[in-house]
Amino acid sequence: QCLDGTRVTVLDDIKIWFETGKEQVFWLNGAAGMGKTTIALSMAHRLSLSNQRSLMATFFCSRDSVDRKNSGLIFPTLACQLASQDRNFQDALLDVLSRYPYIGQALPHEQVQRLIVEPLQHIKPPTPIAFVIDALDEC
């Protein structure tokens, strides 16, 4: 996580972005070693402690880890995390998995549709959702 008093501006910008919901995507980019992973970890931690009703799922890619450099695991991992936070999402995801048992082997665009988009339609009431995906270039 970020040390106290560091990266305050960017963390505040992300917090404001999430709370206002004006834009759907916050894209944090920069050169290697600039602290993007630390910022992502800090923001994920802050969002998990937030009082605001929201869901959050994370995937931290890493070329040094077999599981975390496999892009085919991103959407199944995110779906599993969301299912652990919301019973309606979980039930809808189980239905998807019963209809598409080999979805884990599908192309990413089909995975996101079946594992994320379809189950999200069953969350009541709709709630803000944060996906933190770090180091996508390492997958």
Tokens of 85: 């936070």
Out of 9-13, 35-39, 126-130, which region has the weakest mean confidence (pLDDT)?
126-130
pLDDT band with cut points at 50, 70 and 90 for residue 126? low
**Integer-rounded Cα radius of gyration of the chain:** 16
What per-residue confidence (pLDDT) applies to 78?
96
Mean pLDDT, all residues of the chain: 88
What per-residue confidence (pLDDT) applies to 99?
97
pTM as predicted: 0.85
In whole angstroms, give the CA distance from residue 108 to residue 54: 24
